Structure 1
């Protein structure tokens, strides 16, 4: 079905029901998944879904409704429910109205037909490479490989008309050794051809073998090298809690212009148009993406906005609205951290006695204004002495300020990985491209 034509029909129906304004967002997704466990593929599934969201405006009242169907009865029900919701709500004093149409950037490299049309056989080929690396190391491979594409259309009575198709391939694997070691590897890309199953398999297998027979370490402060998987968690949590304009306007954010929140080596921005990540041209309000500087050489610079927070600030949205209804506020969904000049070996080599940390797990903010997060390490912690890995260590818990961690960065890796940005078990922060970092002190509680 032509999504634009369908959205136009929804708008026409909303007008007939008395809407003074309306906005339709249609997202059609085709995705397929191949799972493997104990080095054997055990599931291949596919789904073809659609979600239609209508924001119905009547004066200064607005309501919304959503459906997963495209038939005529579903269309009528969608409009009726959105209309009833709008008319039953009180007038909003700070309702900024739907966004006006504006420039949408030209984005290249957002879709690859090889990914959108990838078959189960294509995914199996990559999974076999992962499993072969595990077999060669004598470990077992577990994980999943997802490919798919999503077409999004946002059309409104204000004249907004934004349509884009994007693709992504995502491979994640955990390898387990007979000695109790585990290793993790992950990647995501627009083009399935850029997913190197053999390389990820070797990475996870090598880490699992090296993690065998881990020893206990005393709690305390250690200098650490955080691999990219751990750095992603830093930015995901800080992006959600700090660089969200709604959190700042409600007094729940640590961010303030010029405030030092990291070392001079740390520069972070959000850019949905950069093909180095998973690019997208506009947000869920049909507003074009803008590049937003978040941290410049350690100091806070900007925030991401949607239409509501931008109106409160007297500026235009930066194109970071999430799907309605959205109590969270705008989020950075294409974050980047600037690379440094050090190789991974050089980062580790600078540890006289410290830890190499693969990733964090089950992390949750406990004090967003101070950036304090609690969690645990996972899938590979290693004791380093005189620049050499000497022993694997059992996982350690922590409750630290991620801002203090960034302030303690003393070196940054020159290679970067593009990974998923997770929050609360859901990939709401899109993709994040980061290097590994060396931090002078990280406190572990046991």
Structure 2
């Protein structure tokens, strides 16, 4: 099925659902149909053990009657499922109180032209193609005497949003996502990840060498005492910092609920840090509009160390007296709008030059199981994983056993002393939010990071 055929099919279902809602008595309605064709190849202990494909659909209906509105979601598009969806959404609307500050459904607006969001090779990738890439990963592990585990996912997602106010938006995006962890006999582990619109840009051999090298270098780690160390955070760790700050800082709902540290002009980083969200940039996983059918807007989040703006959906924008920036998540959404296509500006130094600036400190690959404990102050707890190394006089001298931390992520950015020139795009993890997002980040040198042991 071509993209146009898929768009047409989903638009017909959306039109039928809008018509059902009108005939049921809705004064307004909004439908989002999202279909994902996804395939996955898993591997463990250097053996492929699973290859699966899923063709799933999610349809949501926002049913409006006066100043009441209700949501319902279904996973089927047959007539009985659509009838049930209307009944449930109408019932939910009837059971809610009138909302004085609800702005109503968004009006149609400009949707930016987006290039590079879809590659047919990715959407049509075969099990044999994925297996070939995975074999390259495993070969790199074998050459280093390590064992490779991980997954390689390919697919495409089609999103159609229609509303009674005239919103009509349709797009198809593709993505390929390869993640691997290598384990060596001496106890070292190494992590590597990449994502791309075009599967041809996924280099399994290079990713395998990266993970294998970290794993072998991590054999027989030493134990370091708790304390504050200068660190070089690699791109994976920086992506975690940005994702958490995006969710709990630059989310307009968090600001309006008094749960965000973000304030216009507030210094949250050094002048070396500039961060923005741009769903139209082909360096990431581009997208033209959000789940309300509102066109994506480039939003400056941190401008040379100071808070600039936050992202909005229709509801938060109305309360703030501004327009939506096109960052609504799939409804029903208890989280609020999120920046899910984040970029951090690169610096001038190579990875080796960043490490060379450490007299005695740590090189950190990534953070694991990081969770907020005080969102308003941006404090996050977590643990390092898959590659921590002691650096002395600019040279890596020993692997280090993983360390726990409870750390203010804004404080991390306030102590950035240098930024790497190379950036990596990874899938953004925003805490269980069902959205395809990405973060493009460099490595950074941080003058001090406190670990609890």
Q: TM-score range by the shorter chain?
A: over 0.9
Aligned counterpart, 2:119:
112
186 and 295 in structure 1: CA distance in 2 versus 1, 3 angstrom threshold: same
Residues 357-406 of structure 1 deviation map (CA, whole Å, 9 limit, x = unaligned):
00001111111111111111000100000100000000001111111100
Aligned counterpart, 1:10:
17
Aligned counterpart, 1:345:
352
Cα shift at 1:415: 0.5
- Pair 1:281 & 2:282 matched: no
SS for the counterpart of 1:83 is helix
Q: Is the 8 A contact 2:330 2:434 kept in 1?
A: no
Q: Is the 8 A contact 1:422 1:429 kept in 2?
A: no
Aligned counterpart, 1:65:
72
Aligned counterpart, 1:204:
211
Cα shift at 1:85: 1.3
Aligned counterpart, 1:178:
185
Cα shift at 1:88: 2.0
SS for the counterpart of 1:369 is helix
Cα shift at 1:428: 4.7
- Pair 1:413 & 2:390 matched: no
Which whole-Å CA distance do the structure 2 matches of 1:214 and 1:286 have between them?
Answer: 50
* Pairing 1:32-431 to 2, within 5 Å after superposition: 32-424=39-431, 428=435, 430-431=437-438
SS for the counterpart of 2:160 is strand
Which whole-Å CA distance do the structure 1 matches of 2:434 and 2:92 have between them?
Answer: 29
Aligned counterpart, 2:26:
19
SS for the counterpart of 1:212 is coil
Which whole-Å CA distance do the structure 1 matches of 2:240 and 2:76 have between them?
Answer: 35
Cα shift at 1:340: 0.3
Which whole-Å CA distance do the structure 2 matches of 1:87 and 1:407 have between them?
Answer: 49
Which whole-Å CA distance do the structure 1 matches of 2:435 and 2:245 have between them?
Answer: 13
Q: Is the 8 A contact 1:331 1:429 kept in 2?
A: no
Which whole-Å CA distance do the structure 2 matches of 1:313 and 1:201 have between them?
Answer: 47
Which whole-Å CA distance do the structure 2 matches of 1:12 and 1:95 have between them?
Answer: 23
Residues 321-376 of structure 1 deviation map (CA, whole Å, 9 limit, x = unaligned):
00111111100010000000000000001101000000001111111111111111
Q: Is the 8 A contact 1:241 1:253 kept in 2?
A: yes
Q: Is the 8 A contact 1:220 1:445 kept in 2?
A: yes
Q: Is the 8 A contact 1:35 1:145 kept in 2?
A: yes
Which whole-Å CA distance do the structure 2 matches of 1:427 and 1:15 have between them?
Answer: 29
Which whole-Å CA distance do the structure 1 matches of 2:154 and 2:408 have between them?
Answer: 35
Structure 1 residue runs without a partner (length 5+) = none
Return 59-68 or 415-424, whichever deviates more: 415-424
Which whole-Å CA distance do the structure 1 matches of 2:235 and 2:245 have between them?
Answer: 15
TM superposition score normalised by structure 1: 0.99
- Runs in 1 of length 4+ with deviation above 4 angstroms? 425-429
TM superposition score normalised by structure 2: 0.97
